[in-house]
Structure 1
């Protein structure tokens, strides 16, 4: 009885996460006149479009700058994920293998920053980026968040699980610090590296306040900010268009996640990661 119960529990949890996406997908195929027609009653057409169409997607493709803003989001995701993974790897390697005074205190202080809300550091961060002349630029969005405490923690813990005997064996063969990292450690933490990269790539799709604050030009803005601007409380909102644009925006993240999940699973199986 435990296995069927566990399966049902997983099915319910999966449905809770997938249901909003499926409802948004169904709403993107509705006409605006059909959006609230069945809201007062519970039936099949409450969840599925009675007369599905792709007119909302046609209009989404003609939105000014949407393709440029979606490209900005994808590019920023790749740059942020790669830069954060590299910086987390170097910091995690130093915190795990190097012995220096205050190492543990520095690690705990870094973890403490995870409890600071982003809203608190947003004003001083804006002034720093402004004084550096990076406001309204691509690097003004990326550089302040290129270092990630959660990324450092994830990779540092993965390196801690690698036996130090591998480091000593590589050192006896004449390997330096970089050779030890490349030959003894990297092959054993591929799963953690992929997880860190994927986590920060998807993280860009959650950004709203920082791009809204640091980017002023529409052609450099991210897609999620542009989609939010389609909702106007003072006028009638074209919700079919909003849902269609949102579905188009999440497709790159979904494709990248689907591709890398296979490599993540195979890396965990090969290295014995959990």
Structure 2
């Protein structure tokens, strides 16, 4: 055996630098705490405004302007919440918002399911250009289309009505894209088997694919509800009568003339308006998570 081979084998057998067991344990022990600290910081930054809103709503108007500000109120009170109900018709505005938001969410689930299935499973002329056109509408700001939509609704006599808020919001480009991707992840064999048994396209969608797409439709519904519950711009343009105002518009009157209203009352109204959206998100969190997970697995 040559000298070079001996030296090579000797060098190959030499152990490299080793990490001490103590340093390895310390590094592995700090890793989870570092992730926890990072997540806690992100949660604090996210929930900070919400905590401040709730805290201020429990203060007296004079204490709201204390410097330095205090997170925990010195003398918590719910007088601001009573002031909200005294100054505006909370129940009417909440009812309007619930009606508008629930119907929009249901409408978007229907239109997104049908359009997504059509673009995913049906074959027709100009399918790809039409889908590209649908996606292109996502890049058009709402403010650009607001004027022609308003003129169209005025011609139809739907301005200053809740129906004028509901119907134009039924089409959803994002929901269509989401459901198309969801249907593409489903096996074609299910639909082909149903067609062999004599089912038409509508029966295949209604009896086979629609039940399987329930988690995806839940995603569309939850996102639509949370978005339109807090919507301000369209109701501001379309609604003028007090009885047709939604909750976000009704809360504006709490500011008073030239913003002289109590900040505690205003933020108490904001807290009340957040409750339905939080409840819907908590209830729909499980199907939302399952829908996103199953869509990712299918793809």
| Equivalent runs, 1:124-163 vs 2, <5 Å | 124-163=148-187
Q: Which has the larger radius of gyration?
A: 2
Structure 2: how far apart are the matches of 1:216 and 1:234? Answer: 20
2:122 is aligned with 1:90: no
3-state SS of 2:284 partner: helix
Following superposition, the deviation at residue 7 of structure 1 comes to 3.5
What residue is the counterpart of 1:217 in the other structure?
Answer: 241
Q: Compared with structure 1, are the counterparts of its residues 270 and 98 closer, same or farther at alpha carbon in structure 2 (3 Å cutoff)?
A: closer
Structure 1: how far apart are the matches of 2:298 and 2:53? Answer: 35
Following superposition, the deviation at residue 100 of structure 1 comes to 1.3
What residue is the counterpart of 2:13 in the other structure?
Answer: none
What residue is the counterpart of 1:236 in the other structure?
Answer: 260
What residue is the counterpart of 1:99 in the other structure?
Answer: 123
3-state SS of 1:48 partner: coil
| Equivalent runs, 1:14-29 vs 2, <5 Å | 14-29=43-58
2:60 is aligned with 1:60: no
What residue is the counterpart of 2:95 in the other structure?
Answer: 71
- Aligned equivalent of 1:120, options 144, 160, 178: 144
- Aligned equivalent of 2:276, options 252, 264, 273: 252
CA contact (8 A) 1:191 1:273 kept: no
3-state SS of 1:154 partner: helix
CA contact (8 A) 2:104 2:225 kept: yes
3-state SS of 2:255 partner: coil
Structure 1: how far apart are the matches of 2:290 and 2:143? Answer: 38
Deviation string, structure 1 residues 120-159 (Cα, Å, up to 9, x no partner) = 1111111111011001111111111110101111111100
Superposed CA RMSD: 2.0
What residue is the counterpart of 2:15 in the other structure?
Answer: none
Following superposition, the deviation at residue 228 of structure 1 comes to 2.0
5+ residue gaps, structure 2, are: 1-27
3-state SS of 1:234 partner: helix
Following superposition, the deviation at residue 224 of structure 1 comes to 0.4
- Aligned equivalent of 1:181, options 198, 205, 227: 205
Following superposition, the deviation at residue 184 of structure 1 comes to 2.4
What residue is the counterpart of 1:32 in the other structure?
Answer: 61
Q: Compared with structure 1, are the counterparts of its residues 17 and 78 closer, same or farther at alpha carbon in structure 2 (3 Å cutoff)?
A: same
5+ residue gaps, structure 1, are: none
Structure 2: how far apart are the matches of 1:87 and 1:137? Answer: 22
CA contact (8 A) 1:80 1:201 kept: yes
When normalised by structure 1's length, the TM-score is: 0.91
Following superposition, the deviation at residue 57 of structure 1 comes to 0.8
3-state SS of 1:8 partner: helix
Following superposition, the deviation at residue 103 of structure 1 comes to 0.6
